[in-house]
């Protein structure tokens, strides 16, 4: 799955802060609105103050809970099915996929997802750690952000999804990390192929979504221009 730029670094930074403060071995009450599990914290005055002033954090059952659903406009709940892909600093959901291979082939259509890792493992009856990618087919009641956080050159919007209530989980497999050295030539060739794809994004929505589509259209057209024809000092959006 090389070549994909994974999003959601701020989410993982927030989780790392909570995990650093977590009390090991304590009971784990369910979060009030799904997403990441609750984390108990005996915080220093500085970190407690930081967490309390971040609108994405909320105190539930005397524990901190981080979720994009606390601080961003969300679409109504719906039933969703697909493949959850997990790796280091990666939690991605490919809607309507049913196999590891299908999810890997459609990784460009993936969305960030907040989901309770342990709950998925319990329901599937399989827990797998270590480096590399693990995959589960999951069905759940969840919400996505009302607006995407990015739109690509073909108009595909990437959202963050919050899994509120897990309904089913099935283990699909594990893919170890590649031990091959980084191949710059292969990476550049893949980048060139992606840039050569026809730009099909259009401005079809209003509000923030439409703004992201307009930014994608300008960025993608700029990237496809020959370097000698690009206006001086003009950089791509996003």
Q: Alpha-carbon distance 178 to 157, whole Å?
A: 28
Q: What is the DSSP letter of 229?
A: G
Q: Please, which residues bridge with residue 110 across strands?
A: none
Are 196 and 182 a contacting pair, CB within 8 Å?
no
pTM (predicted TM-score): 0.76
- Calpha distance 120→143 (Å, rounded): 17
Residue 57, φ and ψ in degrees, nearest 5: -95, 145
The answer for residues whose C-beta is within 8 angstroms of residue 152's C-beta and 6 or more apart is 108, 158, 201, 216, 220
Q: Give me the phi and psi of 130, to 5 degrees please.
A: 90, 175
Per-residue confidence of the chain (238 residues) as pLDDT tens digits? 444 443 444 444 455 444 444 444 445 688 888 899 887 655 555 566 667 778 999 888 888 899 999 999 999 999 999 999 998 888 999 999 999 999 988 988 899 999 999 999 999 999 877 778 899 999 999 999 999 999 999 999 999 999 999 999 999 998 887 766 777 887 778 777 777 788 999 999 999 999 999 999 999 988 776 554 444 443 333 2
As given in the structure block, the two tokens for residue 100 are 């590891």
Task: Identify which of 172, 90, 62 has the alpha carbon closest to the alpha carbon of residue 128.
Answer: 172
Q: Which residues pair with 173 in a beta bridge?
A: 135
């Amino acid at each position: 799955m090389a070549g994909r730029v994974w999003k959601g670094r701020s989410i993982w930074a927030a989780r790392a802060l909570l995990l650093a403060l977590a009390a090991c071995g304590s009971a784990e009450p369910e979060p009030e609105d799904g997403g990441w599990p609750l984390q108990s914290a005996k915080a220093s005055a500085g970190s407690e103050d930081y967490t309390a002033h971040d609108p994405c954090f909320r105190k539930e059952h005397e524990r901190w809970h981080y979720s994009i659903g606390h601080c961003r406009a969300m679409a109504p709940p719906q039933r969703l099915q697909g493949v959850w892909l997990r790796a280091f600093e990666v939690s991605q959901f490919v809607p309507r996929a049913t196999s590891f291979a299908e999810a890997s082939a459609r990784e460009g259509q993936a969305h960030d997802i907040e989901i309770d890792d342990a709950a998925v493992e319990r329901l599937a009856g399989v827990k797998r750690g270590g480096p590399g990618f693990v995959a589960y087919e999951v069905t759940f009641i969840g919400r996505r952000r009302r607006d995407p956080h990015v739109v690509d050159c073909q108009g595909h919007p990437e959202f963050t999804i919050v899994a509120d209530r897990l309904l089913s989980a099935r283990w699909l497999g594990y893919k170890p990390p590649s031990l091959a050295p980084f191949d710059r030539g292969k990476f550049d060739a893949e980048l060139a192929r992606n840039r050569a794809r026809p730009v099909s994004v259009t401005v079809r929505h209003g509000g923030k979504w439409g703004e992201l589509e307009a930014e994608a259209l300008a960025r993608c057209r700029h990237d496809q221009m020959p370097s000698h024809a690009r206006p001086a000092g003009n950089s791509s959006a996003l």
